[in-house]
Amino acid sequence: MEIQQQAIKKLANSMRIYVETHFDFQRLKNIDKEEAVDNLDRAFEAKLEAFHSLYDVSKSDIDYFSHGDTAVLILLRNAIHHRDHLLFKSWNQDMALNDGYKRHLGAEFLLAGYDVLDSPARMRYFYKLEDFYLRVDESLSSPYIEKRMRASNRKKLIGQLDTDLHFSDIKQRAKSDRYPDNQVYINVMPIFISAVCRVFKSLKEKGVEFVGFDAKAYEEPFTNELEVDFSKVVYEPLRIV
């Protein structure tokens, strides 16, 4: 259990660092936009790495691939860790760097996400929705398919994306409102929150203690307070002007 305690502490520490980086984003953006975006991206990726470290030491106790939230975090971490593709650039990177927003002047984007405890998520971190499918859906003939994953597992994950996380509802909404696939983004912060809640609750029930200041600070919210309802998708159209 001590190894799992260390992994929980590492994840909680990375979560705190992300929050601090998030709060500093606006200040730093006015000084050095590239540094602000890169800092936030690296902080989010550090959370994914820490989540994967916890997965490594607890996968014999928890089936991470039986739920969409935990399964997609593993997919996301592996995709970003290996970087053998051009997928999963954050909204900030797409829009804020290299005058990206200028290439989309006049275009409208559909930002989708989920409430946390029936309220809008306080933190937002967006990836293109289509990138998840380009990583696992063979029917799209994507050059960036996850080849290390079995075809049966990719098919299972597509079902979890569509059903557990209601990505199919988002795709249908985007199609009916005529949004191009590359103009639909998903806020992954609620997915991260839900996945961490699931794992922290399970480990706590198995008797694993939360050791260290950061782990203690996140223990109660992520084991007894926070909740995400994926059936309630929140949509936010955003036009670049």
- pLDDT attached to residue 103: 87
- pLDDT attached to residue 81: 96
Cα 195 from Cα 217, distance rounded (Å): 17
Q: Domain limits of the chain?
A: 2-239
- pLDDT attached to residue 122: 83
- pLDDT attached to residue 80: 96
- pLDDT attached to residue 92: 95
Contact 223, 96 (CB under 8 A): no
Global confidence as pTM: 0.96
- pLDDT attached to residue 21: 98
Give per-residue burial for 72-93: e unless 16+ CB within 10 Å, then b: bbbbbbebbeeeebebbebbbb
- pLDDT attached to residue 118: 78
Residues of the chain whose pLDDT is less than 50?
none
- pLDDT attached to residue 42: 98
